[in-house]
């Protein structure tokens, strides 16, 4: 490994505090940076990524060689890999962030008081954002770019496997900042793979305003347990699609196959299909046929198993499971109320959808189901900032506070109240 990993724990605390100070310094100037300045930095960083393709590929080759030597899973190797297409995609991603409206300075509302005070709520950056992620090196560019556009300083902690790749990407981001006359402290990378640095980040309350973990459930849970800093996290996407008795079977089939099989590994993929038992014999055979043809493993309750022998047995554990694979659990429920009861018990409150022709039932579902995203006659795979028209996202929050659902540049801001008077005093 590199020399940077040999730092001892005392040094790590000092090193992290140093990053924190640079970030704080940067955030004071970044909040005042013009939109043009931030966009210039993003465009210059994109150009730098393209110009340094060779250096990026060679840094990535070091990471890939180390990963292969340690025999990590093929799926992780694929996430880690950079090629020319992926580098171009990172560059385009930064340019798309530049194209987004600048959220900073937006007047959210304004009003005047009987005493003449003029009050407005103005959007401002959150401050310093600590982002902890796993193997995909492109997160370095995406997260850095989103933080920059929203006026925040970013302290990035990538996966140890992608250490050299992320470092090379960071150099391109730094080149972009320098071109636009912005402080390098605006986007920094933790310069060690030592896990103690994560513990340090999670307690740096003086330097970091918010932590955003991106990765698997164990990372998220560690961060939520240990962090002394508020966390915006995506914990789990245990999404449901409910097929009501009064629905079009062709539409229901298209939606369910898409919701599960388009990309089974994304957080918006449907994991459990609920079907109105009154219409199961009409609807389920066609849905099961289509899913089985698409290569989906099916696990159902007894009534569903009785319909088709390709359906295996679902246990209580299945209702609690986010498969992230081509596996779907199926349960027959007693109409809309049965569906709502199941969802309110098992859902991770990410995204849940109803398929029905009955407008009243649809409204009741949309109203009563307590999830970040609720849908009518649409595939749960639309749960995505880009599909919502919000531009790039740093994740989808399953928490209830501050940001709920897709976290884009707007969700990386807070606001302040600006009060303008003419000498008013309070009686």
| Distance, CA of 304 to CA of 299 (rounded, Å) | 9
In the complex with a second copy, the residue whose CB is nearer, 20 or 159, is 20
What are the residues whose beta carbons fall under 8 Å from the beta carbon of 318, sequence distance 6 or more? 272, 299, 329
Query: In the complex, what is the shortest distance from the CB of residue 158 to a second copy, in angstroms, rounded to a whole number?
Result: 24
How crowded is the C-beta side of 73, counted as CA atoms within 13 Å? 4
Contact at 8 Å (CB) between 172 and 48? yes
Query: In the complex, what is the shortest distance from the CB of residue 375 to a second copy, in angstroms, rounded to a whole number?
Result: 4
| Distance, CA of 393 to CA of 387 (rounded, Å) | 10
Query: In the complex, what is the shortest distance from the CB of residue 56 to a second copy, in angstroms, rounded to a whole number?
Result: 30
| Distance, CA of 314 to CA of 320 (rounded, Å) | 11
In the complex with a second copy, the residue whose CB is nearer, 113 or 313, is 113
Query: In the complex, what is the shortest distance from the CB of residue 382 to a second copy, in angstroms, rounded to a whole number?
Result: 5
| Distance, CA of 280 to CA of 334 (rounded, Å) | 11
| Distance, CA of 314 to CA of 285 (rounded, Å) | 17
In the complex with a second copy, the residue whose CB is nearer, 54 or 422, is 422
| Distance, CA of 228 to CA of 259 (rounded, Å) | 36
What are the residues whose beta carbons fall under 8 Å from the beta carbon of 68, sequence distance 6 or more? 77
What is the Cα Rg of the chain in Å? Answer: 24
Query: In the complex, what is the shortest distance from the CB of residue 362 to a second copy, in angstroms, rounded to a whole number?
Result: 8
Query: In the complex, what is the shortest distance from the CB of residue 130 to a second copy, in angstroms, rounded to a whole number?
Result: 14
In the complex with a second copy, the residue whose CB is nearer, 129 or 169, is 129
| Distance, CA of 75 to CA of 54 (rounded, Å) | 24
In the complex with a second copy, the residue whose CB is nearer, 15 or 393, is 393
Query: In the complex, what is the shortest distance from the CB of residue 268 to a second copy, in angstroms, rounded to a whole number?
Result: 9
In the complex with a second copy, the residue whose CB is nearer, 85 or 389, is 389
Q: Is 70 helix (H, G, I), strand (E, B) or coil?
A: coil
Query: In the complex, what is the shortest distance from the CB of residue 305 to a second copy, in angstroms, rounded to a whole number?
Result: 27
In the complex with a second copy, the residue whose CB is nearer, 313 or 400, is 400
In the complex with a second copy, the residue whose CB is nearer, 5 or 116, is 116
Q: Pairing relation of β-strands 297-300 and 327-333? A: parallel
| Distance, CA of 337 to CA of 402 (rounded, Å) | 30
232 conformational bin, left if phi > 0, alpha if psi -120 to 50, beta if neither: beta
Instruction: Using CB under 8 A, list all residues that contact a second copy.
Output: 28, 31-32, 111, 113, 117, 119, 124, 126-127, 209-210, 225, 228, 230, 248, 251, 254-255, 257-259, 262, 344, 362, 366-368, 370-379, 381-382, 387-389, 399-402, 404-405, 414-426
């Amino acid at each position: 490994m590199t020399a940077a990993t040999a730092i001892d724990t005392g040094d790590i605390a000092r090193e992290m505090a140093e990053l924190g100070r640079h970030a704080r310094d940067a955030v004071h100037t970044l909040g005042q940076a013009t939109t043009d300045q931030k966009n210039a930095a993003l465009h210059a960083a994109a150009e730098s990524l393209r110009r340094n393709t060779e250096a990026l590929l060679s840094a990535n080759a070091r990471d890939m060689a180390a990963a292969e030597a340690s025999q990590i899973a093929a799926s992780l190797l694929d996430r880690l890999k950079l090629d020319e297409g992926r580098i171009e995609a990172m560059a385009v991603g930064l340019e798309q962030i530049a194209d987004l409206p600048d959220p900073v300075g937006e007047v959210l509302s304004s009003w005047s008081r009987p005493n003449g005070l003029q009050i407005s709520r103005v959007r401002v950056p959150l401050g310093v954002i600590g982002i902890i992620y796993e193997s995909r090196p492109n997160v370095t560019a995406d997260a850095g770019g989103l933080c920059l556009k929203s006026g925040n300083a970013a302290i990035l902690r990538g996966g140890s496997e992608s250490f050299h790749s992320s470092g090379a990407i960071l150099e391109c981001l730094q080149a972009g900042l320098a071109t636009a006359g912005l402080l390098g402290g605006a986007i920094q990378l933790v310069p060690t793979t030592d896990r103690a640095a994560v513990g340090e980040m999670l307690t740096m309350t003086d330097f970091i305003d918010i932590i955003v973990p991106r990765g698997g459930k164990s990372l998220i849970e560690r961060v939520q347990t240990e962090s002394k800093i508020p966390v915006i996290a995506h914990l789990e996407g245990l999404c449901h699609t409910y097929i009501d008795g009064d629905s079009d079977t062709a539409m229901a089939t298209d939606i369910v196959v898409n919701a599960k099989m388009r990309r089974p590994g994304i957080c918006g993929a449907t994991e459990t299909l609920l079907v109105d038992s009154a219409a199961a014999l009409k609807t389920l055979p066609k849905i099961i046929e289509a899913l089985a043809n698409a290569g989906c493993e099916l696990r159902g309750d007894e009534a569903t198993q009785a319909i088709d022998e390709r359906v295996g047995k679902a246990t209580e554990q299945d209702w609690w499971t986010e498969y992230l694979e081509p596996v779907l659990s199926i349960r027959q429920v007693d109409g809309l109320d049965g569906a709502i009861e199941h969802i309110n018990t098992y859902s991770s409150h990410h995204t849940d959808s109803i398929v029905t022709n009955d407008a009243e039932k649809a409204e009741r579902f949309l109203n009563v189901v307590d999830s970040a995203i609720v849908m009518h006659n649409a595939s749960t795979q639309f749960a995505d900032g880009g599909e919502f028209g919000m531009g790039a996202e740093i994740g989808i929050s399953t928490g209830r506070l501050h940001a709920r659902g897709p976290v884009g540049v707007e969700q990386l801001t807070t606001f302040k109240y600006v009060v303008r008077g003419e000498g008013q005093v309070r009686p």
